Amino acid sequence: MMETQDTTTAKGEVSSTTFPPGPKRWWNFLNTMESRKDPLSYYLRLREEYGDIAFFKQGEMPFYVLFDPDDIQRLLEKENKNVTKGEGLDRTKPLLGEGLLTSKGDFHRRQRRLVLPAFHRQRIQGYADVMASYADSYQRKWQDGEVLDISEEMMKLTLQIVGKTLFDRDVSDEASKVGKAVDRLLQGWWLSLLLPQFLFKIVLKLPLPVLRNFQRSIDDLDKLIYQLIQERRESGEDHGDLLSMLLHSVDDEEDNSQMTDQQARDEAMTLFLAGHETTANALTWTFYLLAQHPECEAKLHEELDSVLQGRLPGYDDMANLPYTRMVLSESMRMYPPAWMVGRKSIAPLEFQGYTLPTGSTILTSQYAVHHDERLYPDPWTFDPMRWTPEEKAKRHKFAYFPFGGGIRRCIGEAFAWMEAIVLLASLAQHWKMRLEPNQKVVPQPLITLRPKYGIKMKLERR
Ligand code: HEM
């Protein structure tokens, strides 16, 4: 189904372009509806029907989608000078400002240099104890037979942990308000993508109650962050948290400058939000999958019991819990918390024999690639044994990319692995979870992949 069309290049020249295969253009409207209604199935179907590259339009917006690991590696790693971040995340700028997730170009490169030291191994390994003790005090409150929405529980737990590790502060009050506001923002995010930028800016100024509540929650958290920045600047103390690190960081590659308060605020807000929701989703899906696969759950318990023998896990245990890591790897294959990434080209790029003009939006989907039967035989089966070192070594590096790749790769990856392992180990040591009858489990792809109706599970003490 090859199509050609006249397009205008960046230099204003008209050229005839051959598009990769994809749904017919007169389906544009239907396409938009379908891809919004059930994006996960839509991307799976694009791959199944059109192969390693597909093209579709939503309204008048063209999208190219890549599914081949070689191409994905090129897009994220090798072509990083020829692409910039996609525009979808720009809609979160009212909240995140110019933090790492949303900033671009040289500004992003400088900020990344300044934030990176906060994530050095020596720096973050001390957080393992904070994570374990928060998980422990959480699980001590649980009751045998109690039914909990595990998604909500994990969200609260990871929010408190990021508050403590980022600000050395219990931010439960502010955090729960912001958590709820962000929830509403995420629900509206897809809708906001349908609006052109100028309309989006106008809508943000409308006196809608939902926007006012949202702004109030941001203002509360902003007040707290600025107050903490001020205190830290005045005392010059290093609290051992990520905020201290952001404030002390010096750009010794260029001009020895430090972050302004506004930059530190944007980075802190970005880490606060990017640093909990994804990990909470990974854990939620993991508990759900373990409940469906008691044989894997039993193997996990065996490892935890023999390595930890009832004590809390610490950083040094990471290397001794290989099956725990394999369970999490497989869970993030099936339910990647970041289910798609996008880039915009700033030079013409060639993929699969097609030339993608400057300004193209190029997408790829972790969810679709992680379910490709050419890469993962029987892809809908949960099987942690896919992650033995031997099996892993057989696969392309970009057959699995829950943390993205290249210069925009997740800066919190090591933090996230440590947190996921420590929390899973701390909680599964004492508890099994069983899905409540009638609980509908539907993945909802917003910015992250979360369960649409939550996941209510009954706790069973082990
Ligand atoms: C399971 C947990 C997590 C997953 C699956 C995840 C996934 C991702 C992915 C896929 C990206 C790249 C997006 C792109 O290329 O467009 C990303 C970026 C980022 N993540 Fe994570 N993340 C996780 C946890 C965390 C944590 C714990 C933090 C911080 C404490 C964090 C902070 C960030 C930041 C700041 C960026 C932007 C990096 C940049 O562009 O330079 N993430 N994450």
Distance CA 17, CA 429 (A): 58
Q: Are 376 and 386 contacting, i.e. CB atoms less than 8 angstroms apart?
A: yes
- For ligand 1, which residues put their CB under 6 angstroms from it? 100-101, 112, 270-271, 274-275, 278-279, 282, 337-338, 341, 402-404, 408, 410-412, 415-416
Amino acid identity, residue 138? Y
Q: Are strands 349-351 and 361-364 parallel, antiparallel or unpaired?
A: unpaired
Q: Give the number of the atom of ligand 1 that is nearest the alpha carbon of residue 415.
A: 27
- Block means of pLDDT (10 residues each) for the chain, 462 residues, are 47 59 72 77 94 88 94 97 86 85 92 91 91 95 97 92 88 70 63 62 69 74 86 86 88 82 92 91 98 98 97 96 98 97 95 95 97 97 98 97 97 97 98 96 92 96 96
Helices then strands, each counted (H, E), the chain: 19, 14
Cβ count within 10 A of residue 452: 13
- Residue 451's φ and ψ, nearest 5 degrees, are -75, 125
Per-residue model confidence (pLDDT) at position 200: 65
CATH architecture, range 68-461:
Orthogonal Bundle (1.10)
Residue 228, pLDDT score: 87
93 Cα–ligand 1 center, Å: 16
Render 264-328 in DSSP notation, one character per residue.
HHHHHHHHHHHTTHHHHHHHHHHHHHHHH-HHHHHHHHHHHHHHHTTSPP-GGGGGG-HHHHHHH
pLDDT value of position 238: 84
Provide the pairing of β-strand 431-435 with 449-451: unpaired
Q: What is the pLDDT of residue 185?
A: 63
Distance CA 333, CA 366 (A): 8
- Nearest CA to 337 out of 284, 264, 394, 261 is that of 284
Q: 78: left (phi > 0), else alpha (psi -120 to 50), else beta? A: alpha
- Paired tokens of 428: 């599964």
Helix %, strand %, coil % of the chain (to 5): 55, 15, 30
Candidate of 72, 85, 410 to mutate for ligand 1, largest count of ligand atoms within 8 Å of Cβ: 410
Task: From the CA of 281, give the closest atom in ligand 1.
Answer: 1
Quick one: which atom of ligand 1 is closest to the CA of 420? 1
* CB atoms near residue 40 (< 10 Å): 18
Rounded to the nearest 10 degrees, the angle between the axes of helix 28-37 and helix 39-50 is: 120
DSSP H or E segment with residue 54: strand 53-58
pLDDT score for 8: 45
What does the block give as tokens for 446?
A: 């917003």
pLDDT of residue 186: 63
Ligand 1 centroid vs 115 CA: distance in angstroms?
13
93/85 Cα distance (integer angstroms)? 13
Across 98-112, b (16+ Cβ under 10 Å) vs e yields bbbbbbeeeebebbe
Rg (CA), the chain: 23
Among protein residues, the one whose CA lies closest to atom 41 of ligand 1: 408
> Which ligand 1 atom sits closest to the C-alpha of 89?
16
* Sequence-ordered alpha helix ranges (H) in 74-126: 93-96, 105-115, 121-125
